[in-house]
Structure 1
């Protein structure tokens, strides 16, 4: 059976900041149908770009008049409410499985003894993958993004990540890439050197149909989320005076011993725990600390969230999206200058809905359930800016016992300077309070600690001591206030310096919103222009490796540009 084809249907991404009209929108259901699409594109000198749930805010989609491949059916990708999170409650015939949504353990030698190689179709959703892991209860992906409404192809292409300093990116788990090249031929990449480009190539190498990833044996998360006062969850940097902290967040009665204990707890969670994540909702006086370790013991493991909890999450997300699109409510809030009050109320409701478990015993659940602790996120549209901050070393005299390099190297003496993370976190909080009258940020500040990456174009590449992945979000309805606010937050992050006064490496998450932002002093320059300069070495290395793959597979770089490029990729990779 061939692909479904729609003509001249408007494309919009999830965040509604990118739109265009492709000549054809194709929904393939097999490798053969992908080959037919690419061969047609070659014959008619057209370009092909892919999209899943359309969650990226970046210019990595297609162009007007060209071909867009949708990895999921259009109703699932574009309509709200989306029921992916409730798929366990739906009959099998509604799940739209096809030849690009396969999951199977395959033969081969993993890099770590005891692990397994799992071949997954690019159209497979995180919800399908989560359910497969739980139902088989044998292997699991060790990291992932939170959303279940993502395709594997969509989360792998822009090098997405999870949480935990021991973990790299999703693309670092890839051991084999199967793709349809610019001539319509099915090709395979397994060389570890070549995978550093092929496993995170933004769709530029071709249409990826299947990925083989290295999974770990199933383990069980010991969830113990806590709600802590903001100044205790991640303590302010030592040189931030009490007077600079918003009055609602101050705790003047904290003793020096309390502060030292809080700082030690934060550093331990960030450095050593399996999963490390913090949320702060605007103007809330507490943070939600979602840090946990795992165990190999399955005894007492529960399904989390339960079907009832999942449905309530789905309902709250969809309700939020309905409210943000209610013109009467928005006009009332603006007229009465109640922006801060409205956002505070939203934050309080969100914090109330988040769980808190005493530990011990906490709550034990299958590891992929804990990775996807929040369901139904697809149903509330947001805008999102995220950066990856390289963790610099503390001065040598301050280093303690050696620990393993998070990128897989030998033990080392250097330790991360966590004060840079404290400064990044508190800069975002203080910026939010400076704009409390208009409240451009209506969704949380979120931070995860991750490892480095071997991927050539990864923002985390070279971060041997780890990475601070920090982001700010807002509801899509706040679009008019968002851009200058996001630029102010990002400017502060870009000015971070290490203990020697050197600028810390800060780069955006490729899938998030960076295009159109201006950074720097005096009104700044386009961030994209700065990134093109900063990534010059990586860009050349990336194209060089793609060229090596092309020599083996019978195509050249200009073939990629003609078949799988777009306006941005042309400029970023090929113009010079």
Structure 2
């Protein structure tokens, strides 16, 4: 009889494992072949996976949508893909008002739809542009939106339920333990497998979304930026390379998006928005074909980016009033364009002088490379301004809750020649000048000296986080990442020296 039960147990466990032997992230820059891939559907499944790993001495890493460029999900042992866990519940509490609780694999779209359909309709205060990414992924990595008075999306979280190294479910909240919650909010998957996440949400509101394209030479100044941010709900500033002429920096423009809260009537129907999203999806599919040509023929970059600029932002000036989720997720089809993305964060000067300086420096660098016949940035540079975060591992951490941080990034089509060199140069500059920190989910591991640098910069916060991690995963079941090993346990003295600059 014992043989029969072992056979049944084997079949049950096999049913939770994926048939595929390999996994790759969205961008395709990471491909791995772990020993086992699991697709859990319940809390019980998560607990059994952890117990199995503990029994066999295996490590576990998790993935949701796979929209990260860094190696956070890489493992040689057990990979847990949480996409089949997407139950959602909306509740009202005395302390937080309306909340939404989602299982780890719920997409932002699924949560948005649930909130809209609720009576009364509700909304997140801020969220990522992408609606295809999933709950646990954006929280674990400290992802963010564009709300100027907001911090990371993780800072909107009021409760986390995590299956930790003992195979049991533990609840993290500020009420239970604020230090542990500060570690759990942005945990990089190091505390365990996230099961459920609870956010504070609010009544559905409207945003006026305004697009305009000012000349760089007359708009990208500290006073202009500061005034603009102070009067806006949310702001994104884009630079699209070579957008107004072949190779003349003085003619180039920015693409600026501004959101303002409003009680004005809605100007665009859901049917019209739906048609716009369909068109955007088609446009990005077509644009990707042209971008693939750029990768093969880099010298064509100025001409094709100029063409795509005229077919994109310039052709669609906007001043519309729409529900907040539609304004926050303003672009469809982003997933159609595979790219590389580096993002760093630094504290903004009170007068925004360093913010204007660094965005101008990106433009200058694009043209400096072009003079050498190199075109390493062919997609966009982007900048957002947010408040500081109190979460221990937040890229924009600061003890001052009113501190302002600049989140700045550069993007290029996958396999673009020279992007790693170009982006690493920028990152190194920001590290040296401002002690800038990377967005954990974006590309950062290629930057020279970054791991010992992060260990030094994070300092005591890393020690505090580690004290929480050890409590819930003493056997390091969830610690199977070379980069994080070097950040957490590398040489106490940084090797980030002038030789790296």
- Asked if 1:492 is matched to 2:415, the reply is no
Q: How many residues align?
A: 463
Q: Is the 8 A contact 2:295 2:413 kept in 1?
A: no
CA distance in 2 between counterparts of 1:222 and 1:71 reads 35
Q: CA deviation at 1:184?
A: 2.0
Q: CA deviation at 1:495?
A: 4.5
Instruction: List gaps (5 residues or longer) in structure 2.
Output: 1-11, 244-251, 492-501
* Structure 2 counterpart of 1:368: 325
Q: Is the 8 A contact 2:290 2:304 kept in 1?
A: no
Secondary structure of the corresponding residue to residue 221 of structure 1:
strand
Q: CA deviation at 1:28?
A: 1.5
Q: CA deviation at 1:206?
A: 0.5
Q: CA deviation at 1:132?
A: 2.3
- CA distance 1:232–1:121, change in 2 (3 Å): farther
Q: CA deviation at 1:19?
A: 2.2
CA distance in 1 between counterparts of 2:295 and 2:320 reads 39
CA distance in 2 between counterparts of 1:202 and 1:572 reads 12
* Structure 2 counterpart of 1:271: 230
- Asked if 1:155 is matched to 2:144, the reply is no
* Structure 2 counterpart of 1:317: 284
- Asked if 1:387 is matched to 2:387, the reply is no
* Structure 1 counterpart of 2:485: 570
Secondary structure of the corresponding residue to residue 307 of structure 2:
helix
* Structure 1 counterpart of 2:364: 430
Q: In the alignment, which of 10, 35, 56 is matched to residue 22 of structure 2?
A: 10
- Aligned pairs for 1:345-356 (under 5 A) are 345-352=307-314, 355-356=316-317
* Structure 1 counterpart of 2:456: 533
Cα deviation code 1:182-211 (max 9, x no counterpart): 222222112333211111101100100110
CA distance in 1 between counterparts of 2:289 and 2:181 reads 42
* Structure 2 counterpart of 1:43: 55
* Structure 2 counterpart of 1:119: 101
- Aligned pairs for 1:102-181 (under 5 A) are 102-111=87-96, 115-136=97-118, 138-181=121-164
Q: Is the 8 A contact 2:27 2:414 kept in 1?
A: yes
- CA distance 1:489–1:205, change in 2 (3 Å): same
Tell me the TM-score normalized by structure 1.
0.76
* Structure 2 counterpart of 1:19: 31
CA distance in 2 between counterparts of 1:320 and 1:534 reads 40
Q: CA deviation at 1:125?
A: 0.6
Secondary structure of the corresponding residue to residue 390 of structure 2:
coil
- Aligned pairs for 1:31-430 (under 5 A) are 31-64=43-76, 66-72=77-83, 100-111=85-96, 115-136=97-118, 138-190=121-173, 191=176, 192-235=178-221, 263-264=223-224, 266-284=225-243, 285-296=252-263, 302-303=269-270, 306-325=273-292, 330-331=295-296, 333-334=297-298, 337-352=299-314, 355-357=316-318, 362-392=319-349, 416-430=350-364
CA distance in 2 between counterparts of 1:324 and 1:286 reads 20
* Structure 2 counterpart of 1:95: none
- CA distance 1:223–1:209, change in 2 (3 Å): same
RMSD over aligned Cα atoms: 2.3
